[in-house]
Amino acid sequence: MTRAGGIMLHWHGYTWTGNGAELARESERRPTSPDFPTSLLPPMRTGDWLLKPAKRIAETFHDATKAVEWMVNQYEPFRPPTDVIPLESRTTDAHNLLPRGVDVQWGEWLGGVRFLTIGVICCPNRHVGHPCPTHRTRAGGSA
């Protein structure tokens, strides 16, 4: 397992389901917005999930295989009958990318206006320098 900055590589799982039109509210999806920490919308960049309060973490993993299994379990109830991206391709890519420190995020229109996002974010993250939300919480920061 990779170690960066004294923290072992692990992964945080996040989900969001909502009206897809809300994703157009891009300003609150950026960390520079004062609304970012409290906004329920997913961030524009995957690594910025780590700036959200720790209570937004759905699950934490120390094994990439378990993280991929979690993604599949989150996705299965919403999986469309005709998957544009086959589940086998999604899982193969996730198994390949997560151990190498690359975030994986799946998005799917659920019919009508609903949109689903399932993300597993590497922590520490090589694309953004954000601290681990769980360490930030333990150190007395916001939860």
Give the pLDDT confidence of 47-85 residue by residue, as tens digits.
999 999 999 999 999 999 999 999 999 999 998 887 789
Type of residue at 78: F
Is the pLDDT at 92 greater than 60? The verdict is yes
In whole numbers, what is the pLDDT of the chain averaged over residues? 90
What's the one-letter identity of residue 87? Answer: L
The pLDDT tens digits of the residues spanning 6-44 come to: 568 999 999 999 999 999 999 999 999 999 999 999 999
Residue 141 has pLDDT above 80, yes or no: no
- pTM above threshold 0.85: yes
Cα 54 from Cα 50, distance rounded (Å):
8
User: What is the rounded distance in angstroms from the CA atom of residue 36 to the CA atom of residue 53?
Assistant: 10
